[in-house]
Amino acid sequence: MITHHANKRLPSARVYHWFILLSALLLVSCTPQKTTQIRVGTNLWPGYEILYVAREQGAFKGIPIRFMEYRNATQVIDNLLKGNINMAALTLDEVIRVVNEGLDIKIIWVFNVSNGADALITNTTITQLSDIKGKRIGVERTAVGEYMLHRVLQHAALTLDDITVVDIPAHKHVQGIANDSLDAVITFEPYVHELASLGFNTLFTSKDLPNEIIDVLAVQADFAQRNPELVGQFIDAYAKQVSEVLHAFDKHIYYLNLRLKLDKDELKSIYAGIEIPTPEQQLTLLRQTAKLQDNITVYRSALGYNAAPKNKMLAADIVDLQFLERVK
């Protein structure tokens, strides 16, 4: 018997091509896509706390954002330089430090101007600035403390050779002076208030340096260029929250104090030491490029950046007003 087998056609090359293409499309569609996300880094500072009020009250609903909470400004700067965050809460002199490292960042918001919330705190044997000669002064040297130290020494008519500088992160300032390993610290709130309550002396504050200690929000320039609408939505939402807090401070005390954990009266006292500008006031401040340029020159001198920086150091090049200008 002869058995006839059915003639089966083998799939053509074209069928294989479409099969591979379809499989690839299915694989891509089933793979989770990476969402563009704002990653903002902060350390503990009263001027930044409205960010966390906004987070807790849902002001950023629908905006992909992650808050990275660091123990000190040095960690914020390090993570910004490493690309782990794309926004950072910094003092203006810290912005200069980051730009000097070669990272292109833009100031897009002014959190506050310090008016007493940064200070030189000393033990009780030191009663005037000249008494710090020969003493051990604790300071976070990679942050605003370095600039404050420079200005303190100027006012005391002293130099770095006249003191011993101990580089110590902000969250260890209280312990350092309380256990007598330091004679003084240059620190900021809430540590200023805590040390004052323990009986230490406050000899010099940012009130003695009007409009010099300014906290801002900086964004990586390329991130803002790629995501202008996202950054704009974030600033719009935050501006609304700031306005609500400024108009009803007592109503927001609970949320303002979630991280600071202070007595209500202490909290109010601390906020009396910082000025929180409205968007209109921020625009006025940031449009004064000649004054900002003067500040940059002072900061660079204080930080020892006398050589040419790795990146431009012009006020007009580190400020981006487009997001503030769209705030209603």
- Residues 182, 253 share a domain: no
Q: Is 29 domain-assigned? A: no
The pLDDT of residue 16 is 53
Rounded to whole angstroms, the Cα distance separating 215 from 107 reads 10
Is the pLDDT reported for residue 25 higher than 60? Answer: no
Phi, psi of 258 (to 5 degrees): -60, -40
Could you count the other beta carbons within 10 Å of the beta carbon of residue 198?
11
Percent of the chain with pLDDT over 70: 88
Percent of the chain with pLDDT over 90: 77
Give the CATH number, domain containing residue 72.
3.40.190.10
- Residues 203, 131 share a domain: yes
The pLDDT of residue 309 is 53
Q: Which domain holds residue 143?
A: 118-208
164, 193, 208 — which closes off a domain?
208
Q: Is 33 domain-assigned? A: no
Identify any residues that bridge with 91 across adjacent strands, giving them in sequence order: 215
- Residues 60, 183 share a domain: no
Nearest alpha carbon to residue 106 among 97, 95, 114, 117: 95
Q: Is 152 domain-assigned? A: yes
pLDDT in tens, 167-221: 999 999 999 999 999 999 999 999 999 999 999 999 999 999 998 999 999 999 9
Structural domain total, the chain: 2
- Residues 237, 167 share a domain: no
pLDDT in tens, 82-93: 999 999 999 999
Instruction: Name the pTM for this structure.
Output: 0.84
Is the pLDDT reported for residue 155 higher than 80? Answer: yes
- Residues 106, 217 share a domain: yes
Q: Is 30 domain-assigned? A: no
Q: Is 56 domain-assigned? A: yes
- Mean of pLDDT over the chain: 89
The pLDDT of residue 302 is 81
The pLDDT of residue 307 is 53
> Mean pLDDT throughout 125-134?
96
The pLDDT of residue 144 is 87
- Residues 135, 167 share a domain: yes
Token code pair at residue 294: 């003067």
Rounded to whole angstroms, the Cα distance separating 131 from 155 reads 12
The pLDDT of residue 143 is 79
pLDDT band at 10 (very low <50, low <70, confident <90, very high): very low
Q: Please, where are the H alpha helices in 101-227?
A: 144-156, 173-178, 191-197, 221-226
- Sequence-distant contacts of 231-237: CB under 8 A, at least 24 apart: 231/38, 231/108, 231/323, 232/322, 232/323, 232/326, 233/63, 234/38, 234/60, 234/63, 234/65, 235/108, 235/109, 235/323, 235/324, 235/326, 235/327, 236/326, 236/327, 236/328, 237/54, 237/59, 237/60, 237/63
- Residues 288, 194 share a domain: no
DSSP 213-227: SEEEEEEEHHHHHH-
